[in-house]
Amino acid sequence: MIDRQEHVLTMPHAEIEAVQLEGIKRTLIACYENIPFYKKSFDEAGFDPYAVSSLSNMERAPFTTKQDLRDHAPYGMFARPLSEVAEIHMSSGTTGVATVGGYTQHDIKIWSDCFARSMIYAGATESDVAHICYGYGLFTGGLGAHYGSMAAGCTVIPISAGQTERQIRVLREMGSTILCCTPSYAMHIADTALEMGLDPAKDFHLRAGIHGAEPFSDNFRSELEAKFGYKVLDIYGLTETMGPGVAGECWEQSGLHLAEDHFYAEIIDPETGRVLPDGEWGELVLTSVDRQACPVVRYRTRDITRIIPGVCACGRTHRRIDRLHGRTDDMLVIRGVNVFPSQIEDVMKTFPQVSSWYQIELTNERHLDEVTLKVEIDPEFDFDEISALEGVQRQIASHLKRDLSVKIDVRIVEPKSLPRSEGKAKRVIDLRKGVFND
């Protein structure tokens, strides 16, 4: 029996809020009593987790940041013993310290239901075949899509990412109807098919794509829809609070419905921390309503969005966030992988042959992100040997691939004549099209 979740998706908002309040009270107490970080954080802020009687009281609770999760990895932010944890996922971290998330069986069920909503929004039935080419493994994309598609009744093809020609063969021959992958990979599949002389709109059987893990502009979406002849639904999530499915676009394509029975969302001013009214752009902050293994309280996502005021034409009552408008920090998303420039700096520091100056140049000529890291030779380094220079480029690239899980081309460049001390150096040159604007 497929659970289409109709009742919960159309609950009057006052009922949703009641569910949120009850869940948050349990979350706060579980955090306070089981996670030393939260006990310390609440005590220092003078926040009483037992005295919350309305959702607005949450404005007094302290925030949680990514650094807090990193500082207490691997298991310091777990509210349950490992024996109750059914599954672990991680996001990539600097020099081996990733952020770790755990899921009880109950948490897996929530995650599954949340992702399933995107399939439900796409009108998925037992006749649909879900083609999952998000990466399976420690990243949350593959398994999240897998659980959710299965819960929605689809036949799941867990092909994971890569081997594009095989993806194309499977899409043609096995009748996949819903494509789940990053938007840039979807475009890459379309373009490769076109190069092979195929027409993705006629030779495949896709009617929808559930795409996320990286931002993409409206133009990029239009191009995907034109090439595949399907409808693209944006999906949002982050490993730190669960994975994909925190919010998803419905067929109206007018915002992403939050899963409000599982996440309490606030929009804050990133400078002051003040909660902003619906409609105003700011940073999305999330609190777990019913996550057991790794609940978070007021987690700062660093994603910029707003609550779209009003009710969606689809009739579902969970409020919507707008498509993402950027980040409050310097994090980059490269081929679906989160990368902080500081992670790149950490690798460079281990190479005395290069100076501390660098620039990251991002392009997406063929719709897949290409990254070039430009570095300079340190003046003390003996560069009279070509093989040594090439060796440095190769080694830095290899360490970056190892530590960041993303392929970055490294190029030694001449020192520039721009003075270094003038203000904040422009480290990232993002020439990509179709990411946020345009």
Partner 1 sequence: MIKQVTVFMENVEGRLALVCRTLAQAGINMHALTIADTQDFGVVRIIVDDPNRALDALTQENFRAQLVDVAAFSIPNRPGGLADLLDALAEAKLNIEYGYCFQTKGESAVDVLKIKGENVARALETLALAGYTTLELSDIVA
> To the nearest whole angstrom, how small is the minimum distance from the Cβ of residue 374 to partner 1?
10
- Of the candidates 367, 250, 410, 222, the one whose C-alpha atom is nearest the C-alpha of residue 315 is 250
The DSSP 8-state label assigned to residue 405 in this structure reads S
Residue with tokens 């676009």: 249
Residue by residue, what is the 3-state secondary structure of 102-116? EECHHHHHHHHHHHH
Tell me: does residue 412 bind partner 1 (CB under 8 A): yes
The DSSP 8-state label assigned to residue 12 in this structure reads -
Q: Which residues of 18-32 are buried (b: 16+ CB within 10 A; e: fewer)?
A: ebbbebbbebbebbb
Left (φ > 0), alpha (ψ -120 to 50) or beta: where does 228 sit?
alpha
Residue in 126, 414, 423, 426 binding partner 1, rule: CB under 8 A: 414
Listed ranges 43-51, 102-110, 255-263, 408-416: which one lies at the site for partner 1 (CB under 8 A): 408-416
In angstroms, the Cα distances linking 409 to 124, 161, 387, 395, 406 are 40, 21, 17, 11, 10
Number of residues binding to partner 1, judged by CB under 8 A: 18
H-helix or E-strand containing 288? strand 282-288
Listed ranges 223-231, 332-340, 358-366, 414-422: which one lies at the site for partner 1 (CB under 8 A): 414-422
> Which residue number, 46 or 379, has a Cβ lying nearer to partner 1?
379
Tell me: does residue 391 bind partner 1 (CB under 8 A): no
Residue in 169, 402, 416, 420 binding partner 1, rule: CB under 8 A: 416
**Residue numbers 96-135 binding partner 1 by CB under 8 A:** none
Tell me: does residue 379 bind partner 1 (CB under 8 A): yes
Listed ranges 128-136, 167-175, 344-352, 377-385: which one lies at the site for partner 1 (CB under 8 A): 377-385
The rounded distance, in Å, linking the Cα atoms of 6 and 14 is 17
Residue in 44, 173, 195, 382 binding partner 1, rule: CB under 8 A: 382
> To the nearest whole angstrom, how small is the minimum distance from the Cβ of residue 388 to partner 1?
10
Listed ranges 45-53, 144-152, 226-234, 386-394: which one lies at the site for partner 1 (CB under 8 A): 386-394
Who contacts 59 (Cβ-Cβ below 8 Å, separation ≥6)? 266, 275
Take residue 194 and report the two structure tokens written for it.
């076109």
Contact letters for partner 1, residues 335-374 (x by CB under 8 A): ----------------------------------------
Tell me: does residue 415 bind partner 1 (CB under 8 A): yes
Tell me: does residue 385 bind partner 1 (CB under 8 A): yes
Residue in 15, 345, 390, 438 binding partner 1, rule: CB under 8 A: 390
> To the nearest whole angstrom, how small is the minimum distance from the Cβ of residue 429 to partner 1?
16
Listed ranges 277-285, 321-329, 356-364, 379-387: which one lies at the site for partner 1 (CB under 8 A): 379-387
Tell me: does residue 422 bind partner 1 (CB under 8 A): no
> To the nearest whole angstrom, how small is the minimum distance from the Cβ of residue 385 to partner 1?
7
CB 343 within 8 A of CB 358: no
CB 99 within 8 A of CB 73: yes
CB 378 within 8 A of CB 353: yes
> To the nearest whole angstrom, how small is the minimum distance from the Cβ of residue 394 to partner 1?
12
> To the nearest whole angstrom, how small is the minimum distance from the Cβ of residue 389 to partner 1?
7
Q: How many CA atoms lie within 13 A of 402 on its CB side?
A: 10
CB 403 within 8 A of CB 343: yes
Listed ranges 19-27, 102-110, 256-264, 387-395: which one lies at the site for partner 1 (CB under 8 A): 387-395
Handedness of CA 350, 375, 95, 341 (dihedral sign): positive
CA angle 36, 39, 41 (to 5 degrees): 105
> To the nearest whole angstrom, how small is the minimum distance from the Cβ of residue 272 to partner 1?
43
Tell me: does residue 389 bind partner 1 (CB under 8 A): yes
Tell me: does residue 383 bind partner 1 (CB under 8 A): yes
For partner 1, the binding residues (CB under 8 A) are 376-377, 379, 382-386, 389-390, 393, 411-417
